[in-house]
């Protein structure tokens, strides 16, 4: 991962958006399962960057590609759910 700190700085915003659409539990479950969907999702995001590049998309792709970061984000989602 190129810059773990810059990736993690987006987590609260992502968690808030996922909670808003009630997708936080599903997302955490998929990430905790170590699903190959995470890797495929990362590849889709990298592909999509060709059409609309931004730092959040890069951070999302990096997080999805790195299994330990995906697991950490899933834990973050669960922790945030308990505290909300």
What is the domain partition of the chain in residue ranges? 4-83
**pLDDT value at residue 23:** 95
At 38-79, the pLDDT tens digits run: 888 899 998 888 788 788 888 999 999 998 999 999 999 998
With beta carbons less than 8 A apart as the criterion, state whether 42 and 66 touch. no
Q: Helix 11-20 to helix 24-32 angle, to the nearest 10 degrees?
A: 120
Name the percent of the chain lying above pLDDT 90. 50
What is the value of pTM for the model shown? 0.80
Rounded-to-integer distance, Cα 75 and Cα 80, Å: 8
Q: What average pLDDT does this structure show over 1-14?
A: 79
């Amino acid at each position: 991962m190129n810059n773990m700190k810059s990736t993690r700085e987006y987590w609260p915003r992502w968690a808030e958006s996922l909670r808003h659409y009630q997708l936080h539990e599903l997302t955490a479950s998929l990430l905790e399962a170590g699903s190959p969907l995470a890797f495929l999702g990362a590849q889709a995001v990298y592909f999509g960057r060709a059409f609309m590049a931004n730092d959040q998309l890069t951070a999302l792709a990096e997080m999805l590609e790195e299994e330990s970061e995906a697991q950490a984000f899933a834990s973050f989602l669960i922790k945030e759910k308990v505290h909300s």
